[in-house]
């Protein structure tokens, strides 16, 4: 991209020749005021505060009736139903937000700029980051343009059908999105149902009247604490962002892993009935609010990092409202079992952030280098030579080798073997007791591990001594090899330069 001066004004030159085959590709310029990433901090904060206050106002109006008329919750259910028709036939939802919330989606900004340039110059322009490479852009059609609309009018608006089709498609194709949007949906449902728990506990069970809404103050305090903790736990993510510009999205899940164990719904349920202190459900509710915000913020930011600008479709399915069932649920099941049911559902999702975090750490491990040589071992069973490559049985791609400290560390003064030929050896030449305990454990699971993985135990000692010790210990399922004539231990940090053995588990 460059600029040239023509007729006293500066014109930006975009790559391309303006034809349908090679259109001008429009991108943001340096210090472009329309680039959302180039905006000042005050503008970004203003947009975020407007969005946050809008969400707070909406959720406030929904939850304000928690201790009153449950029928008011029909509003969130009817809103999307009527809104689909309003957006389809009454214009765009953007008309509501254009004053305080400017457009922040880069592909749309560039597409709009390309359309203006195309109209001004009569040539073909296309946005660099356009989500579709179709030009000219097709006109928006409506249901009334369908040839069958006159006879069979479709009651579902085109925009609604398109959203449902895209949502179902991404829901089936993206497993991470499927997992976490379901978790977000469950969190929304549980939070909405939780708004009915306190009024039921204090208004119905404990016969409170005007003060039934006071226990919600614990939620406010703990929500604020969770927001502060979120900033603290974001430091590893910010540090990684400053260091290499590509932080691991799973760093967002640290708070989720902490919050996943704070399932206080059981605490709320079994401390709610009369007979316990009124403070117990309040404290439990605060802990629930802390964990709920931690889970919701962590999973939301994680999905935003993973899916980027397409995260809108990901969040589309994570906003249910099931508060109509709350009163009947607590009335029929009781406080204890109704809250416990929600707790069991939340516990089912608890392992998700741990699994994804561990998977990310495993992906970050460097690829193993090529093995230096085809090491030759001696079999403890018959003394024959066995090469490393021969330890890979067809159909099993992984090889696990445990290096047993036999002989032991020279400064290990623990007692030697209780009897047998091995106990007659000098203490420094006897096996390590701790390694013996580990091999005992491997012996117990060797038969099952061998179904999927090649498992071998090696030692620096001679094949005869290793075979004798195996007979004394009753090891029958493990494959035992002597590594006395190769350098595998030295090459892979299982042996010091002074030939001191180390207990190391190799995975090839």
Task: Indicate the range of 176-190, 283-297, 389-403 predicted with least confidence.
Answer: 176-190
Q: With bands split at pLDDT 50, 70 and 90, how would you rate the model's confidence at 78?
A: very low
Q: Is the pLDDT of residue 152 over 50?
A: no
Return the pLDDT at 466.
Answer: 93
How high is the pLDDT of residue 386?
92
Query: Residues 140-150: what's their mean pLDDT?
Result: 41
Q: At which residue do the structure tokens 């928006």 appear?
A: 140
What's the mean pLDDT when you consider all of the chain? Answer: 73
Percent of the chain at pLDDT > 70 equals: 66
- Residue 353 is predicted with a pLDDT of 82
Question: Quick one: pLDDT at residue 471?
Answer: 92
* pLDDT at 115 exceeding the cut of 50: yes
Pick the CATH number of 174-364 from 3.40.190, 1.20.1250, 1.10.260, 1.10.3470: 1.20.1250
Distance CA 390, CA 388 (A): 5
Compute the distance between CA of residue 24 and CA of residue 227 in angstroms, rounded to an integer.
Answer: 45
| pLDDT per position as a tens digit, 495-504 | 888 888 889 8
Residue extents of the structural domains in the chain: 2-47+79-138, 174-364, 376-507
pLDDT at residue 181, rounded to an integer: 63
Give residue-wise pLDDT tens across range 451-473: 888 999 999 999 999 999 999 99
Token pair of 209 as six digits: 């009247």
Answer yes or no: are the C-beta atoms of 194 and 66 closer than 8 Å: no
What value does the mean pLDDT take over residues 247-255? 83
74 Cβ neighbours under 8 A, 6+ residues apart: 324
The confidence band for 475, taking pLDDT boundaries of 50, 70 and 90, is very high
Q: What is the dihedral of CA 28, 34, 39, 43, to 10 degrees?
A: -160
- Name which residue leads in pLDDT, 91 or 307: 307
Position 506 pLDDT exceeds 70: yes
Work out the percent of the chain whose per-residue pLDDT is above 90.
13
Q: Tell me: the pLDDT tens digits for 323-379?
A: 456 667 777 787 778 778 878 877 877 788 888 888 888 777 777 677 878 999 999
CA dist 54 to 49, 51, 64, 100, 118, Å?
8, 5, 15, 11, 36
pTM of the model: 0.50
In the prediction, which pLDDT does 385 show?
Answer: 92
What CATH superfamily is the domain 376-507? Glutaredoxin (3.40.30.10)
pLDDT grade for 319, boundaries at 50, 70 and 90: low
Contact 504, 493 (CB under 8 A): yes
pLDDT digits 0-9 by tens, 50-60: 777 766 665 55
Give the confidence band of 100 by pLDDT, cuts at 50, 70, 90: low
- Dump pLDDT digits (tens) for 395-439: 888 899 999 999 898 888 888 878 888 988 999 899 999 999 999
């Amino acid at each position: 991209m460059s600029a040239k001066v023509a007729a006293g004004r500066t014109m930006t030159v975009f790559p391309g020749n303006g034809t349908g085959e090679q259109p001008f590709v429009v991108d943001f310029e340096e210090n472009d005021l329309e680039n959302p990433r180039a905006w000042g901090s005050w503008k970004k904060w203003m947009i975020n505060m407007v969005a946050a206050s809008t969400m707070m106002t909406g959720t406030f109006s929904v939850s304000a009736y928690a201790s009153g008329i449950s029928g008011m919750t029909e509003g969130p259910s009817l809103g999307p139903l009527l809104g689909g028709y309003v957006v389809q036939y009454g214009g765009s939802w953007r008309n509501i937000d254009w004053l305080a919330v400017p457009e922040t989606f880069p592909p749309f900004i560039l597409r709009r700029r390309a359309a203006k340039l195309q109209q001004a110059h009569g040539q073909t322009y296309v946005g660099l980051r356009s989500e579709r490479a179709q030009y000219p852009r097709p006109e928006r059609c409506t249901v009334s343009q369908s040839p069958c609309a006159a006879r069979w009018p479709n009651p579902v608006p085109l925009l609604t059908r398109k959203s449902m089709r895209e949502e179902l498609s991404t829901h089936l194709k993206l497993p991470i999105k499927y997992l976490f949007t379901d978790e977000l949906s469950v969190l929304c449902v549980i939070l909405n149902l939780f708004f009915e728990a306190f009024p039921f506990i204090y208004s119905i069970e404990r016969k409170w009247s005007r003060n039934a809404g006071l226990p919600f103050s614990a939620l406010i305090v703990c929500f604020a604490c969770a927001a502060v903790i979120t900033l603290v736990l974001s430091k590893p993510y910010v540090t990684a962002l400053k260091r290499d510009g590509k932080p691991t999205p799973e760093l967002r899940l640290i708070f989720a892993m902490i919050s996943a164990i704070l399932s206080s719904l059981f605490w709320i349920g079994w401390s709610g009935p009369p007979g316990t202190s009124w403070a117990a459900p309040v404290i439990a509710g605060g802990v629930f609010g802390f964990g709920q915000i931690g889970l919701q913020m962590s999973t939301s930011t994680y999905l935003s990092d993973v899916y980027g600008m397409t995260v809108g479709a990901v969040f589309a399915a994570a906003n249910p409202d099931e508060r109509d069932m709350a009163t009947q649920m607590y009335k029929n099941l009781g406080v204890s079992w109704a809250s416990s049911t929600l707790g069991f559902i939340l516990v089912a999702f608890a392992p998700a952030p741990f699994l994804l975090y561990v998977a990310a750490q495993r992906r970050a491990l460097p690829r193993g280098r090529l093995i230096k040589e085809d090491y030759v071992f001696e079999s403890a069973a018959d003394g024959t030579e066995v090469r490393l490559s021969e330890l890979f049985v067809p159909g099993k791609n992984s090889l696990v080798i445990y290096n047993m400290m036999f002989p032991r560390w020279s400064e290990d003064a623990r007692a030697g073997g209780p009897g047998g030929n091995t106990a007659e050896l000098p203490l420094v030449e006897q096996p390590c007791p701790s390694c013996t305990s580990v091999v005992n454990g491997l012996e117990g699971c060797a038969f099952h591990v061998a179904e999927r993985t090649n498992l071998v135990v090696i030692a620096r000692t001679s094949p005869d001594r290793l075979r004798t010790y195996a007979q004394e210990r009753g090891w029958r399922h493990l494959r035992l090899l002597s590594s006395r004539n190769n350098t595998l231990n030295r090459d892979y940090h299982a042996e010091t330069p002074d030939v001191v053995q180390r207990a190391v588990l190799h995975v090839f």
